[in-house]
Structure 1
Amino acid sequence: MFIQPIPMWWGSNDNWAYLVVDDESRDALIIDPANPGDHWDHAGGNEEIDSICFFFQDGDQKAVFTGDTLFTGGCGRFFEGTAEEMHVALNKHLASLPDDTVVFPGHEYTRSNAKFAISVSQSEPVQQLLSFSEANPVTVGKYTIGHEKVAQKSYGVD
């Protein structure tokens, strides 16, 4: 599986779209090609899509596209859902994925999330996240579900 992040509206919400290509068949799909925002169908005409997060596995390679639900070092706001729905999405569905699943969020908010996190906790995982985000303006595809479990727990999110 080949995943190509595509910056969309960079500098204004720092949105990501993704091109996902199957290595063998060369079949491809694009995730969030138009106006990424706070709902499951940004482009229109995709009524059969009923999820806001998508998990892919190709051999040992695992990826989850989390849209506005989970970001590196933080989570999204719940514009249209409830706190309980966000809790279930994060702590039941996403937390149940294998720890080596690479996270592909809908926005590049890592640096701002790390700056907030460091104000809450000076833990080693948070310090590492802040250092990495300051040195690398693009962090998409660099962190896993396992990392998120450790980092977010270290500043009181459980």
Structure 2
Amino acid sequence: MSMTGFGWTFTNGTNTLIEKTPSIMDRLKESVRRILKLKLKLGLYDTPVPGAKNLELVGNDDDVAAALKFRESIVLLQNNDSTLPLPTNASVFLTGPSANNIGYQCGGWTLIGQGVSGNDMYAHGFLFGRVSNRLLENNSFSAFLPDGSAAKARW
């Protein structure tokens, strides 16, 4: 069973194995039967599209309001040396390929198997935009280098 979200290495390798060793097909079919029986026993096929009735609840105004309220309750476990809140004159440096990529920040299994790159699938995501706009308001935004290079940063 392959759980990769991209690439055909597993599929191509399986096809090659079947071509070279046709007798493996019986073992493959038996493995598939065991997996399907277990999924049926666990009730994984009882609902054709699990959660479909709740789809309208995701991303609606109440959902967004709750998410915005929730972000106010995020707690920093340790705030040594009064790191937060940042002073209005703080100099902040954002860097790396994930700094403006909500898909990478969310990681795998958030929306799609191994994760997705970019911001398009996260309509309510705003981390980089809000942070950078807020820093620009305070003249605190020093640099953003998506390649992770600090060579041009001015501190």
TM-score range, shorter chain: under 0.3
Point out the structure with max Rg over C-alpha. 2
- The structure that is strand-richer by fraction is 1
TM-score normalised per structure 1: 0.21
- The structure whose RCO (Cα within 8 Å, separation 6+) is larger is 2
- The structure that is helix-richer by fraction is 2
TM-score normalised per structure 2: 0.22
